[in-house]
Structure 1
Amino acid sequence: MKKAISDHKAKPGLIKYCFFFMFLFFSALTFGQARGRVQVIRDPLFDTLLAKRAALNRGGGSVGGGNFSSSYGYRVQIYSGTNRNLAYNAQAKFNREFPELRTYIVYREPNFKVRAGDFRTRLEAEKLMQEIRPSFSGIFIISEKINPPKTVISND
Structure 2
Amino acid sequence: MKKNKAFLTFMLFALMGLHSLSAQSSYTDNKNINSLLQKKRSFNKKNGAGFRIQLYNGSEKRARSLKSSFERDFPGVFTKLTYEQPDWKVQVGSYKTKLDADRALNKIREKFSGAFILEI
TM-score (norm 1): 0.46
The aligned counterpart of 2:79 is: 103
Greater C-alpha Rg: 1
CA deviation after TM superposition for structure 1 residue 101, in Å: 0.8
| 1:76 lines up with 2:53 in the alignment | yes
The aligned counterpart of 1:35 is: none
Runs of 4+ in 1 over 2 A off after TM superposition: none
Equivalent-residue separation in structure 2 for 1:70 and 1:98 (angstroms)? 25
CA deviation after TM superposition for structure 1 residue 139, in Å: 1.1
Equivalent-residue separation in structure 1 for 2:52 and 2:62 (angstroms)? 19
**Structure with the larger RCO, 1 or 2 (CA within 8 Å, 6+ apart):** 2
Count of residues in correspondence between the two structures: 77
Q: Unmatched 5+ residue regions in structure 2?
A: 1-41
Q: Secondary structure at the match of 1:129?
A: helix
Specify which of 87, 90, 96 is matched with residue 120 of structure 1. 96
Percent pairwise identity: 34
The aligned counterpart of 2:29 is: none
Q: Secondary structure at the match of 1:101?
A: coil
The aligned counterpart of 2:15 is: none
Equivalent-residue separation in structure 1 for 2:46 and 2:72 (angstroms)? 27
Structure with the bigger percentage of helix = 2
TM-score (norm 2): 0.59
Q: Unmatched 5+ residue regions in structure 1?
A: 1-59, 61-67, 145-156
Q: Secondary structure at the match of 1:105?
A: strand
Equivalent-residue separation in structure 2 for 1:120 and 1:98 (angstroms)? 19
Q: Secondary structure at the match of 2:49?
A: strand
